[in-house]
Structure 1
Amino acid sequence: MGPSRTPVTELSGNGKFVYGCDYNPEQWDRTVWEEDVRLMKQAGVNLVAVNIFGWAELESSPGTYSFERLDEILGLLHASGIGVNLGTGTSSTPAWLTTLHPEILPESASGVRAWPGGRQAWCPSSPRYREHALRLVGEVVRRYGAHPAVRLWHVSNELGCHNALCYCDVSAAAFRSWLVARYGSLDALNSAWGTTFWSQRYSAWEQVLPPRTTVSTNNPTQVLDFHRFSSDELLGYYQAEADLLRQHSSIPVTTNFMVTAHIRSQDYWSWAPHMDVIANDHYLDHRLDDPTAELAFAADATRGLSQGQPWLLMEHSTSAVNWQPRNIAKEPGEMLRNSLAHVARGADGLCFFQWRASVQGSEKFHSAMLPHAGTDSRIWREVVELGGILETLAEVAGTTVKAEAALVFSWEAWWAYDQESHPSSDVKYLDQVHGMHKALREAGITVDVVAPGADLSGYKLAVVPGLYLVRDTESAALADYVKNGGTAVVTYFSGIVDENEKVLTGGYPGAFRNLLGIRAEEFYPLPPGQTRALDNGTTASLWTEAMRLEGAEAKLSFAEGHLAGSPAVTRNRHGAGHAWYIGTVLTAAALREVVSEAAAEAGMEALACPEGLEVVVRSGTKHSYLFLINHSADEHKHPARGYELLVGEEVSSAVVVPAGAVRVVRTSNPTPPTGPSTGQKDK
């Protein structure tokens, strides 16, 4: 078991929402600091992250420390009643360290050693790096471990964002040690990895390497295990810092996760128990078709990591970022909608990167709370407005989101699913996950995101998108859930391999075949743009399979091609419950319809919300809070009864949500009185 969880509201200093930012005072002259603190107070900021990249500032040469500037900024913040989220400063190596010890620098799979000059220029397995980093952490915690300004310890920063996978010789030795601990013997490793294939059998441990660049394809299980090792290696580093901090300080410890579409290097299910506070960084990703839908999934997944309790949004942006191909500024009101969408889904704190927009460095065009344009700007006015809104919503802090549906999500399955040499490179794990989550959201169903094998007994509906890799205990947990009266929806390319990437034979979908009452013999992926007609008048794309019924009934069938007449979507009675299977890529509308029918069968009223209106409920002991976030250009009216907090008016039967606006209605009941169900239940 990990440490007990610290309520996020304790970090605010007043028991309310956290409102904060990253602050890099080392980038600014001292004359700016007092103005910054004054403006932070004006905006309502109550928690500031400092010393995130402070190593070179604190230790200008080996063993030579200077804390005067950090002392001063902590003193200024504390004098103004602003708390500090104190970074350990170890995220990026100073130039003197990589000059003295270039072996610290990470290597790519093709053996190219990275040069210093960016950030995170260190190998997670490097004992030399750890030695120097922990020495700095020791100096920092001994100086500030009881400082009255410090409310949270921030280990490193976005661990694994750039250096999660290092293939150097030091990493290779650490990987072998990890494998010895996992398998115990070479025979067991050879069996797990299937090394009889292509004459890959190992006869000595020193022959085993990371999955470096080869002339063909890598061993899939070797690749999977290297991902597992790399996640564990970074977690071990986090624990080394956290243990040192806890030796000298009673202040809670965390680091910022990256539950987002473009980072998949850590298995956060294994990390979460070690955090005093679950914190996440999230930025809208305009490389996706629907960035707002991805935000909703990320927020639900972060709440899942926090076991349903409130969590901290450590970073997001007021407007554009700097690292996407096209860094699109947020439109008026969009930042407010994004921020309150996180709050609706369980965040008790909103923090931004960063406070004052940089004027130098690669992030100088990244938005900030205080933009280049200064206080006479739309961004600044919205920042101040958001601070006021969080004050207005103070009573919501500490309440939780309760869902009747669960979505099973796995970083391990993601690593395995998206490997090469699969039936189609056009189908991706996260596409399945996002598609299913979006269908549920648009049906008005809020979901908890849970790990494979989680206890599902409290849910009416469990959806399992693309769980390609599954352990026996995990598939058994789902089967028992359905047998005992639950309803499950499983999608294509699920249950195919075990934890060692070994195909489960006898017909697809392997681990779930008996539960689903079907058997598929072959996959027939389709190229992008090609479709197959279904018997309900809609079409399927990207994926089809030759399936036959073995106890299940067909809900939808293919209407053309060589699979005409064979099932595409099925339903099977298993014990006291039902298990649905979606064996193709449905249109968004058809997927929503199938999910809604399964939810209705499970006893949930899944009525579609108006397009663009996000509906979520947070519930407390006495009141519930209905969040209505209008992402559309149209006004919407939603059934409600209670008191609307943002405009301050009684609501008797319905609340009007203008285009692009947010409304929050306090109700005296744990769920909204009428209208589309949001999948909530009483605490």
Structure 2
Amino acid sequence: MPETTPKGLTRLAFGGDYNPEQWPEQLWAEDVRLMRQAGVTMVSVGIFSWALLEPAPGEYDFGWLDRLLGLLHDNGIRVDLGSPTVAPPAWFHRAHPEALPVTPEGVRLEFGSRGAICHSNADYRAAAATITTRLAERYAAHPALAMWHVHNEYGVPVSACYCDSCAAHFRRWLATTYGTVEALNEAWGTAFWGQRYAGFDQINPPRATPTVGNPGQALDYKRFADATMRENFVMERDILHRLSPDIPVTTNFMAALSQCDSVDYWAWGREVDIVTNDHYLITDGRRTHVNLAMAADLTRSVAGGAPWLLLEHSTSGVNWQPRNPAKAPGQMARNSLAHVARGSDGAMFFQWRQSRRGAEKFHSAMLPHGGTETRVWREVVELGAAVDALTPVRGTRTEADVAVLWDWHSWWAQKLQWRPSEDHDARERADAFYAALYDRHLTVDFAHPEADLSRYPLVVVPALYLMTEAAGNNLKEYVENGGTLVVSYFSGIVDEHDAVHEGPLPGALRDVLGLTVEEFAPLLQGESTRITGPDGSELSGDVWTEFVVPRGAETVWTYADGPAADHPAVTRNRLGEGTAWYVSTRLGAEGLDALLGWATEDARLAPRPDLLPDVEVVRRTGESGRFLFAINHTASDAKVPLDASGTELLTGERAAGPLAVPAGAVRVVRLDG
């Protein structure tokens, strides 16, 4: 069986993508010398190198890669070796233009970027299998090899193709999924608008139509596209497992990045030997460290709570946003170690040496254009020493307090056309609830709606429009057995086929919530509503209201105005040994904090008034001990209480009583006992 950590790596991973093909070979020795100075332990190699490895069909050149891997091994640097199947060579696409993807409008995309792939194309699959086999045959026993890196960021920038090959593949997938066309017609509701099919051969991908197409078809095509990419990953993985059975295989995810929501990482997490993730700050004015924490928590959850690996992030600015600010001094270390706190067994970057040419030449790197006389380089060297000092953390697990339900299929369904309000953004609600939990200093696990939730005192459902009957029953059982549940509006509405659950809304959740919703009453742009509590206190909501009818639930807050005036806005339902809360409007930060205050009290989760806002405290525990991470994202010094004395690993100092965490700094205490 393959290992579940990089083979031969005894410390935390530190390094990044190394693309030596962009540079003269005489520079490689200098690169490796500087890697050793920075404390690099592993690099990713060969991810975009297909054209160099196979410069013409069936002609291979491995000499340069042999020399590179030998140089890295001689200097004690482990290798994450890529199968370069994300970027087929120009000669391949000239010979097989039909392997280029087609948009829903029928436009075939051209070669000249990255990820221009039709994943249903048989010629692409055959060529990918061949180059992967050749790599494995040559390097399976290479002493530098730590793990295999298949493809790169599946789903970015193209996840779905709409060509004739995909149409035929889609029909086969539907036949396997549904068995009969009658079952498909029922699932998709094709009786509406006369869309009924007499056979699978009549079905095409959801290409451009005069108006809105069938939502069941569109949802299934997203599933099909995801499954097709995963088939190709599994094909390559199985080749690598067969030829190098002791080497783990991964592919880099992009969990929690809204631009990469075409991949069901719950399914992908079961297929990789090591879960790895790429994360880049979205600098849109929000607190970027909160989204970072969310991404790390989600990645850890996809890994089933096991340690994972941050395979890419940036030393400073990126180059693909409208505005790309540099990271402030110290921010790179905080970002990196926050990922480690939340379960990563290392911190790696894109890339080692900053490019002079190509689309990403302004993307920051470990070794910037300015070389070793730069702030970024000095911080990289300092971070390398810090990561090395945290070696004892390797293999431990992050402790979580609460769970948030997350389902990519629900995101896909929610984003289809013609919903009650385009101002409702399910992902915005997930971000908002996560931020509210973060501000209460609660560490989050994410969970699939049908997962076992029994270990969590509190479960939050920010916005899950699509929810299976099994998921609804799971939440009901969770509450009956003593759990506390918080649900936001427009959740539990449709089943897995985007069909509204039979009976009153919110179908899958009405029993656990003890209420029905007679009608949605979304607000117009710019409108808001006031809600009042029994003590006369007041909160505000916007975007959404509902006509809620309690069926056992008690009304806690009431609409004071708006279309749903005098109807319940927030309810609480006692069911069995537990409690279920429901909020039917979009609350702001103040309202979410109040709601979670009541819910955490029900869940017996103690507040943390002793911790300042934006001072993260996260724990990792395992055979090597108990570790407390304190990360100060503020401009002021902070004190963090300790429940035991210990040793601070980054300074080597003893720690007892309140832990001093300077402004912008990180402290990691290995607790005694």
Q: Answer yes or no: same fold by TM over 0.5.
A: yes
* Runs of 5+ unmatched residues, structure 1: 670-683
The reply on whether 1:581 has 2:582 as its aligned counterpart is yes
**Could you say what the CA RMSD is over the residues aligned between the two structures, in angstroms?**
1.4
C-alpha distance after superposition, 1:221-280 (max 9, x if no partner): 111100100110000000110111111112111111111222111111111111110101
- Deviation digits for residues 179-199 of structure 1, max 9, x if unmatched? 000101111111100011111
From 622, 632, 640, the equivalent of 1:620 is 622
Write the letter of the residue equivalent to 2:473. A
Residue 284 of structure 1: aligned partner:
281
The answer to whether the 8 Å contact 1:410/1:452 transfers is: yes
- Structure 2 counterparts to residues 188-203 of structure 1, below 5 A: 188-203=183-198
Matched residues in 2 for 1:14 and 1:156: separation? 22
Give 1:143 shift: 0.6
Per-residue deviation, 1:207: 1.6
Residue of structure 2 equivalent to 1:632: 634
Paired residue secondary structure (2:71) = helix
- Counterpart of 1:661? 665
Whether 2:292 is the aligned partner of 1:316: answer no
Does the 8 Å contact 2:11/2:41 carry over to 1?
A: no
Q: Distance in 2 between matches of 1:108 and 1:138?
A: 31
Structure 2 CA distance, aligned partners of 1:231 and 1:452? 19
1:630–1:528 CA distance, 2 compared to 1 (3 A): farther
In the aligned structure 2, how far is the partner of 1:382 from the partner of 1:328? Answer: 17
1:45 matched to 2:40? The reply is yes
Counterpart of 2:439 in structure 1 is 442
Aligned match of 1:401: 398
1:173 aligns with 2:168: yes
Cross-structure match for 2:182: 187
Shift of residue 7, structure 1, vs aligned partner: 4.1
Alpha-carbon shift at residue 424 of structure 1 (Å): 0.9
User: For the residues of structure 1 that align with 2:50 and 2:633, how far apart are their CA atoms?
Assistant: 41
1:363 alignment partner in structure 2: 360
Aligned match of 1:225: 220
More moved, 57-66 vs 155-164: 155-164
**What is the one-letter code of the residue matched to 1:595?**
L
Distance in 1, matches of 2:562 and 2:108, equals 51
* 1:557 maps onto 2:548 in alignment: no
SS at match of 1:369: coil
C-alpha contact (below 8 Å) 2:346/2:387 kept by paired residues? no
1:276-328 deviations in whole A, cap 9, x for unaligned? 10101111112363332111111101001111110011111101111111112
Equivalent-residue separation in structure 2 for 1:621 and 1:96 (angstroms): 52
User: Amino acid of the residue matched to residue 258 of structure 1?
Assistant: M
Provide the residue aligned with 2:527 in structure 1: 530
What's the offset of the Cα at 1:646?
2.2
Match of residue 331 from structure 1: 328
Q: Any idea what the Cα deviations from partners look like across 1:495-526, whole Å, max 9, x if unmatched?
A: 00001101124322211011101111111222
Q: Paired residue for 1:390, among 365, 387, 402?
A: 387
Q: Do the aligned partners of 1:622 and 1:668 also contact (CA within 8 Å) in 2? A: no
User: How far apart, CA to CA, are the structure 2 residues paired with 1:132 and 1:275?
Assistant: 22
Aligned partner of 1:242 in structure 2 is: 237
Of the structure 1 ranges 426-435 and 642-651, higher mean CA displacement relative to structure 2 is found in 642-651
Instruction: Find the aligned partners of 1:58 and 1:562 in 2 and give their Cα distance.
Output: 65
Distance 1:236 1:562 in 2: 49
Among candidates 639, 652, 663, match of residue 648 of structure 1: 652
SS at match of 2:260: coil
**What letter corresponds to residue 511 of structure 2 in structure 1?**
N
Q: 2:521 touches 2:563 (CA, 8 Å); kept in 1?
A: no
Separation in structure 2 between the aligned mates of residue 329 and residue 622 of structure 1, nearest angstrom: 36
Q: Which residue of 1 aligns with 2:129?
A: 134
Question: What amino acid does structure 1 have at the position aligned with 2:416?
Answer: Q
Residue 653 of structure 1: CA displacement? 1.9
Contact 2:297 / 2:446 at 8 angstroms: preserved in 1? Answer: yes
Letter in 2 for 1:101: H
Letter in structure 2 aligned against 1:207 = Q
Q: Is the 8 A contact 1:596 1:607 kept in 2?
A: no
- SS of 1:578 mapped into structure 2: strand
Equivalent AA in structure 2 for residue 452 of structure 1? P
Match of 1:254 among 230, 241, 250: 250
- 8 Å Cα contact 2:402/2:443 also seen in 1: yes
Q: Helix, strand or coil: the match of 2:398?
A: coil
Length-normalised TM-score, structure 1: 0.95
Separation in 2, partners of 1:561, 1:544:
8
Q: 1:159 aligns with which of 137, 144, 154?
A: 154
Q: Give 2:413's aligned residue.
A: 416
Residue equivalent to 2:474: 477
> Aligned runs of 1:371-390 on 2, under 5 Å?
371-390=368-387
- 1:156 is aligned with what amino acid? H
**Distance of aligned partners of 1:563 and 1:455 in 2 relative to their CA distance in 1, 3 Å threshold:** same
Aligned to 1:596: 597
Greater Cα offset, 212-221 or 357-366:
212-221
1:681 corresponds in structure 2 to none
Q: Is the 8 A contact 1:632 1:660 kept in 2?
A: yes
Q: Which amino acid aligns with 1:187?
A: E
Picking from 100, 103, 107, the partner of 1:108 is 103
With over 3 angstroms needed to count, the CA separation of the structure-2 counterparts of 1:148 and 1:623, relative to structure 1, is: closer
Matched, 1:346 2:347: no
The aligned amino acid for 1:633 is: A
Alignment of 1:500-539 (within 5 A): 500-535=497-532, 536-539=537-540
1:534 counterpart SS class:
strand
Contact 1:152 1:253 in 2 (8 A): yes
**Regions of 4+ moved over 6 Å:** none
Change (3 A) 1:361 1:159: same
More off after superposition, 368-377 vs 153-162: 153-162
Q: Distance in 2 between matches of 1:96 and 1:211?
A: 31
Contact 2:521 2:564 in 1 (8 A): no
3-state DSSP of counterpart to 2:549 = strand
* TM superposition shift of 1:72: 0.5
Counterpart-to-counterpart distance in 1, 2:114 and 2:441: 41
Structure 2: gaps spanning 5 or more residues: none
Confirm or deny: 8 A CA contact 1:541 1:584 kept in the other structure. Answer: yes
Work out whether residues 357 and 366 of structure 1, in 8 Å CA contact, stay in contact via their aligned partners in 2: yes
Q: Partners in 1 of 2:563 and 2:82 — Cα distance? A: 60
What is the match of residue 119 of structure 1? 114
For the Cα contact (< 8 Å) 2:494–2:500, is it kept in 1?
yes
Hey, what's the Cα distance between the residues in 2 that align with 1:183 and 1:14? Answer: 45
TM-score by length of 2: 0.97
TM-aligned CA deviation for residue 565 of structure 1? 2.4
Query: Mean Cα displacement is larger for which, 336-345 or 633-642?
Result: 633-642
Match of 2:81 among 76, 83, 86: 86
The offset of 1:395, in angstroms, is 1.3
Q: What SS does the corresponding residue of 1:463 show, helix, strand or coil?
A: strand
Q: How far apart are residue 668 of structure 1 and its match?
A: 2.9
- Inter-partner Cα distance in structure 2 for 1:145 and 1:664: 37
1:29 aligns with 2:24: yes
Cα distance in 2, alignment partners of residues 561 and 163 from structure 1:
43
* In structure 1, C-alpha distance between the alignment counterparts of 2:82 and 2:158, rounded to whole Å: 19
Question: How many Å separate the matches in 1 of 2:303 and 2:290?
Answer: 20
